[in-house]
Structure 1
Amino acid sequence: MTRTILFVHQNFPGQYRHLVPALQRRGDRVVAIGGPTSRPLPGVPLHRYDALPAGGVPPCHPWAADFQTKVLRAEAVARCLETLLQEGLRPDLVIGHPGWGELLVVKDLLPDVPVLHQVEFIYQLQGADVGFDPEFADADWRLRARLRLRRAPQLLALQDLDWGLAPTPWQASTVPVPFRQRLSVIHEGIDTAAIAPQGSAQLQLQRAGVSFAPGDELVSFVARNLEPYRGFHTFMRMLPLLQRLRPKAQVVIVGGDGVSYGAAPPGGGSWKEAMLRELGDALDRRRVHFVGRVPHPVLHELFRVTACHVYLTVPFVLSWSLLEAMSCGALVIGSATAPVQDVITDGHNGLLVDFFDHRALAERLAAVLAEASSHDGLRREARRTVVERFDLTRVCLPRQLELVDRLMA
């Protein structure tokens, strides 16, 4: 008997780019509802919704603006789903991400159909990203009140939770205790067969006019956007000292100039511009290569040739880039923050430093660059960690499929 699984994700396929084809291969029918930026997958009917009403977004209290946006999105998804149900769609399971409000009223249309929520992160009033970095902390109670209200759609989604899926233990710990008994910790998975070390690796960066190979004194830093949430300010402040300690070191920085999390720097512009202004002549820019965003194959080649990859983050969602770097056999120096400590044990499969201590980061990097080959054991253990805990085909996908079957039983 063919089962039908409905995915709801504003940027489909999102986290489900591996799960969807796996379901199709075993004979399940997959249907998707997504936002305007969603991309179709072969054999998957994709129904896009427009969350903005024709007359524009109605005015409301500023504290309620985020909630209103999510309600508008929920209504748009509901209208799309209602049409599909009238046309004969009968899903056996709904899988979606509640973070954008899309699942808020699904149960009103499908009260007897189980819904699997992708639980990435529940906003925390304390102990996580907000207020973690004192440089950007704001004591204004209004900002705290806004965050409290911003959690409302997430908490409403948890009330309707049939089951949740979190990628890492720390991210799962952000879920309130009463709901954790309906939560599985399964990562989306890393294709460790394709994302793997290669002895013949070579990195060509035409935009920067440079090339690198294994053995070069190369340091890498990667983020979707270069911003304090991912420790970009700490990394930049470390560079002048590193350049004095290692005069031949080259640095490749991958990432955009926008803001994914947090806020833009005071006065506007990008954090790259702000940090370059702050450092001024203390930084030798000839040895620092900003390459913007790069295709995934180029990113993996960077991980294969880098002498050391730096990954910093406030307590927040763990980036796939960390696991992909480790899968490529990169030596990682990470921040001693909860998401990273889920994966890296200092001195076992990588190295950890205090998120704020740019001097300690520079000194540890310099020590690694001085004796790169002596850290080969850490590189092997980094790769082993990802293969054993996060491998797509042998670990993560089988567990995801088992959970899907259990929810439809």
Structure 2
Amino acid sequence: MSPSPRRWRRRLAVAALLSALAGVLLVNAAARPPRAYPDSPQFHDGAFHNAVTPKGPQGAGDVLKLWWKFFFGKRPTTRPDTQLPVQPLTRADLEAAPDHHLWRLGHSTVLMKLDGGFWITDPVFSERASPVQFAGPKRFHAPAIALDELPPLRGVILSHDHYDHLDRASIQALATRAQVFLTPLGVGDTLVRWGVAPERVIQLDWWQSTQVDGLHFTATPAQHFSGRTPFRKNPTLWASWVVQTPALKLFFSGDTGYFEGFKAIGQRLGPFDVTLMENGAYDPLWSGVHMLPEQSVQAHQDLRGGWMLPIHNSTFDLAFHDWQAPMETVLSLAEQRGVSLSTPRMGEPVNLLAMRPFERWWKPLVRTHERDAAAVGNTLKPSAGESAR
């Protein structure tokens, strides 16, 4: 008797996982020993640390269960079954756009035109957020503009070194096309190893600042972790960022759990006109390093934010919630708390000086998912994150 299609899919998933791990091992074998940062209060015992140890899976048993569920226990609704609405962009569109506009390109990749220069956050243009491109989380949609179509960039802003935020192929393509790379401590060393000229790299610790063309950038605290292999724990720092122009002040969260640091940032550097807030790939099991939607809204309020623009969603399947749940949940919470929320489609222009809400573009896409979920019935148990909602 031949194996069922489901068993074949499982076997292929296991083979893909093993292949991906083999790729990680090869990358790790070729990497250099980690550097020490003795002047950083966040660095001690050979690694970077959060101020408070965040909540996460406990022990090897939890980790194994998590990986098993990730590969074999997901519902089909964690991915869209139709094309997401993406507004294509051209270089001419971007160059003709007025100053102080923003475009979501996918996940946490945001392009901003500020005082005549283009800046991009966590550029990931590869097909997969993975150490290898034959396995790992695959994009739901193509970027709104191809990487080689981007105009010359004044700078790149990086939050940390995880694969869904730091993409080697994208960085190497931008190595000579971006004039400056702003990174937390250690991430810049990785860029230099990849071929970025050292004079283009500015590495900052938490609360350190730099100015570029009259724009003020501050690396601010976050509660997360780092590492691109299983063998090095927190070799580089993670950060959120404050970007201030003469006309407005922005906050970019990067990846983070909810923590008291948001209030400190709001008191020291707020209020903010717009916050680009992580909202997606969450679960109660790892809420210490990725905020739940209600925490994302609370963090925005702690920061004394004006408009909130959710990011870190609608591009990769990195958790157990339905793909549209981050947007639907945060919208409901924002309405309850009186928070101004902006939810543009990928590629849709956002005027940072005249923010507005956008249509619920994901609504027409979930009907087929709802039918699928009804057909599945009770054969799959909901995740802890879904039970909490």
Larger radius of gyration: 1
Normalised by the shorter chain, which TM-score bucket?
under 0.3
Higher RCO by CA contacts (8 Å cutoff, separation 6 or greater) = 2
- Point out the structure with the larger helix share: 1
**TM-score normalized with structure 2 length:** 0.28
